[in-house]
Amino acid sequence: MTSLATRAAVVSPRRAQRTPSSPVRGRPQRVLFNILGLIVFVCSVFPVYWMVNLSFTPGNQIISRDPSLVPREPTLKNFVTAWTRPAAPGQTDFPNALKTSLIIVFVVVVCALFVAFLASIALARFRFRGRHAFIVGILVVQMIPGEAMMFTVYNLVDDMRLINTLLGLALVHVASVVPFTIWTLRGFVAGVPIELEESAQIDGCSKPQAFWKVTFPLLAPGLVSTGIFAFMQSWNEFTMALLLMKGQNLTLPTWLNSFQSATEATNYGAVMAGSTLICIPVVIFFLIVQGRMTGGLVAGAVKG
């Protein structure tokens, strides 16, 4: 049996693909599991549902002692407010913040995947001194609380004249996402047995050719999964965005924060609508991309 220990991985490669399922014997067991599944579903989905529910509820009915599962007088007014109103006077509005976030996330995911991919190959495929030091370094680097380094990073970005620029924030995000990405991608690369490349080499491919033709396609699910993680980290990042960006360059989380605190009496309906709007691109991205993650995650569930 091949060593499963080398697979600190998330997704199994296509060759050994197997969607895990143990056939359940007997109807009572099946019913029980279905009930459990339903409970998990409801618990997971309920706050999301509640958020959407409140988004459609008019402001004066949200602050009420009589909550209702479905809005009694559904309204789109909250969404209109969330979409059109600047977070605070002089600041950006939702569509602009959306654009900013999308640009930054795109840059971050591409750069982080590129940098981390190279590093993970080095870590998983090569034997060299200092390899373990680098791995431990990657972990230690993730342990430092961002709050302790906030000002130093700010001054660093300031000295590079990148305060309040998309490039500056993207740089900070890439740096904060790369350690985790390397850590995860390393597992994926390690999960593709080197024998596959070696047999391709025997068949006449050079080493790089073997890599691109054989191993790389098997890494696609891994790249996609880590791409999603990187996407979410950058999309939701708040503290540094708050510090570095202002005015027209706000990202979505900071936009929401400003939107929430700018009004003296919190307009809960609009805040909930804004929150819903922020989640939509993430969900869309997920749904688009999850089809490519064969052998794991949701697609695995679909294949049954």
Partner 1 sequence: MNSITSKALPAAALLGIAGLALAGCSSDGGSSSGEPAATGTLTVWLVGTDTPQEARDLLKTTFEEAHDGWTLDLEEKTWADVSENYVAALQSNDAPDVVEVGNTQAIGFIDQGLFADLGDIRGDLGDLNPGLEASGTYDDTFYAAPYYAGGRVVFYSGDTVDGDALPTTLEEYVDQGIGYRTDSMSGIYAPGRDWYNMLPYIWSYGGEIAVLDGDTWDAQFSSPESQEGLKLLQKVYQEATNAPTDGDEADANVPFCAGEVAFLSAPAWMAGSITAPADAENPGCADTFGKDLHAFPLPSNTPGEPAPIFAGGSNIAVAQLSDAPEMAKEAVKIMVSKDYQDIMAGVGLTPALLESNAALPDNDVAQSQAEALAVSKSVPTTPKWQEVESSLIIQDSLVRIAQGDDTAEVAEALDARIEEILNG
Partner 2 sequence: MATPSLSAQRHRRRGRTQALSAWALLIPSIALLALMVGYPGVTMIWQSFTDYQVRNKIQGTPANFVGLDNFAKVITSSDFPAVLARTVGIMVLTTTLIMVGGVLIAILLTKLGRGMRLLVSVGLLLAWAIPPLTATVVWGFIFDTQYGLVNWLMNAITGSNDWYNHPWLLNPWTFVLVLTIIVVWGAIPFVAFTSYAGLGQVPSETIEAAEIDGAGGWQRFWNIIFPAIRPVLGGVLILQIIWNMKLFTQVYALQSRGGIAADTNVLPVYLFRQGIGKFGETSAIGMLIVIIMLAISWYNIRLLLKEDEQ
Closest CB 303 distance from partner 2, rounded Å:
8
37 binds, among partner 1, partner 2, none (CB under 5 to 8 A by kind): partner 2
Cα–Cα dist 301/37, whole Å: 13
By CB under 8 A, name the binding residues for partner 1.
59-60, 63, 81, 85, 88-91, 130, 132-134, 136-137, 140-141, 150-151, 154-156, 158-161, 163, 242-243, 246-247, 258, 261-267
**At residue 52, what is the residue type?**
V
81 binds, among partner 1, partner 2, none (CB under 5 to 8 A by kind): partner 1
Give DSSP secondary structure letters for the chain.
Answer: ---GGG---SS--GGG------PPPSHHHHHHHHHHHHHHHHHHHHHHHHHHHHHTS-HHHHSSSS--SS-SS--SHHHHHHHHS-SSTTS--HHHHHHHHHHHHHHHHHHHHHHHHHHHHHHHH---TTHHHHHHHHHHHHHS-HHHHHHHHHHHHHHTT-TTSHHHHHHHHHHHHHHHHHHHHHHHHHHS-HHHHHHHHHTT--HHHHIIIIIHHHHHHHHHHHHHHHHHHHHH--HHHHHH--GGG--HHHHHHHHHHHSSS--HHHHHHHHHHHHHHHHHHHHHHHTT-TTSHHHHHHH-
Q: Is 9 in the site for partner 2 (CB under 8 A)?
A: yes
Q: Is 50 in the site for partner 2 (CB under 8 A)?
A: yes
121 binds, among partner 1, partner 2, none (CB under 5 to 8 A by kind): partner 2
Q: Which of residues 12-41 bind partner 2 (CB under 8 A)?
A: 12, 16-22, 24, 29-30, 33-34, 36-38, 40-41
Applying CB under 8 A, which part among 79-87, 88-96, 211-219, 280-288 lies near partner 2? 280-288
Sketch the per residue contact string, 172 through 211, with partner 2: x for CB under 8 A, - otherwise: x-xxx-xxx-xxx--x--x--------x--x---------
**Identity of the residue, 107 or 278, whose beta carbon is nearer to partner 2 in the bound complex:** 278
Sketch the per residue contact string, 69 through 108, with partner 2: x for CB under 8 A, - otherwise: ----------------------------------------
Applying CB under 8 A, which part among 70-78, 88-96, 110-118, 212-220 lies near partner 2? 110-118
161 binds, among partner 1, partner 2, none (CB under 5 to 8 A by kind): partner 1
